[in-house]
Amino acid sequence: MRWARGSPARTGALRVKILLVSDLHYALKQFDWTAAVAPDFDLVVIAGDHLDIAGQLSGGVQVVVVLNYLKRMAARGRLIVSSGNHDLDRRDAAGEKVAAWMSRVRRHGIPTDGDSLEIDGALITICPWWDGPHARQAVADQLARDAARPKSSWLWVYHAPPEGSPTCWGGHRFHGDAELTRWIETYAPDMVFCGHIHEAPFKRGGSWADRIGDTWVFNAGRQIGPTPTHVVLDTEAREAAWFSLAGAEFADLDAPLRRPLPELTTFPSWLGPNIRDPDPTRV
């Protein structure tokens, strides 16, 4: 990834395709789909809520199954995951809920909560779901440290969308993270990958994409069925697209954001055939 704000040639000759999904909530057919298309992307981001706390299976059983899926995806391409509120399974020394099983994700070589990694000069910061002031301060410290690091661009993975953004609109009120809004205003990352508010892209006044200053924010939302809602981006083409049962939309990342976002009527040339009609048996 070599995009840099303000430059028309952000990635040079390098072409990087990113897949964003979130809130799979132990929907195994959606994990199958994600694993099937993972090799077609340079980076797959799963932005939290891997588990389903309302499910019939215990959290421990779900963790074992999800870990197997994540290991499979990581063996087929670069994968990044963060925790969400459904992933919390323990209390830390401060009495705050944490997704302790993310340490098992890290042991499999998959970057996760609290990690930062660099890819060709681009810095990616992966933030955990925070449940109280202790964990919130840890996220603030993580962002402050990464802000001081040299980088050509900065991408965050953060489960909750920012407060006040259409990406957190539930149809009657906003359900966002006010701290994230302040951090975006302070640090101005290039992109923030979120989830959490399932219905935001489907509600009038909501959206899968937003722009706060120079920062693009994405939330793919959630739907039923074997294929998750998903956002795909190409950093060379500087384009993003959202796919769902309700249709598909498009965003030009170099153009001013105007609403409503245009309907996607033809597949972008950079989008491979497998994302259009994936075959889960390839896994």
Rounded mean pLDDT of 58-87? Answer: 96
The per-residue pLDDT for 276 is 57
Q: For residue 127, what pLDDT is reported? A: 98
User: Using CA atoms, how far apart are residues 160 and 47, in angstroms rounded to an integer?
Assistant: 9
pLDDT of residue 163: 98
Phi/psi for 173 (5° steps) reads -155, 170
Encode pLDDT of 186-205 as tens digits.
999 999 999 999 999 999 99
Please write the tens of the pLDDT for every residue from 89-116. 999 999 999 999 999 999 999 999 999 9
Q: Where are the domains of the chain?
A: 17-282
pLDDT of res. 15:
56
For 93-121, give the DSSP string.
TTS-EE-TTHHHHHHTT---TT-EEEETT
The three-class DSSP label of residue 14 is: coil
* pLDDT value for 2: 36
CATH code for residues 17-282: 3.60.21.10
Please check the confidence at residue 122 and state whether its pLDDT lies above 80: yes
Separation between Cα atoms, residue 79 and residue 50, nearest integer Å:
14
Q: Which amino acid is at 4?
A: A
Single-letter code of the amino acid located at 97 = K
pTM confidence score: 0.92
Q: Which of 278, 216, 213 is nearest to 253 (CA)?
A: 216
Residue 273 confidence (pLDDT): 66
Average pLDDT, the chain: 91
**% helix / strand / coil in the chain, to the nearest 5?**
30, 25, 50
Cα–Cα separations (whole angstroms), residue 245 to 65, 77, 196, 221: 26, 26, 18, 11
**Cα-only R_g, the chain:** 17
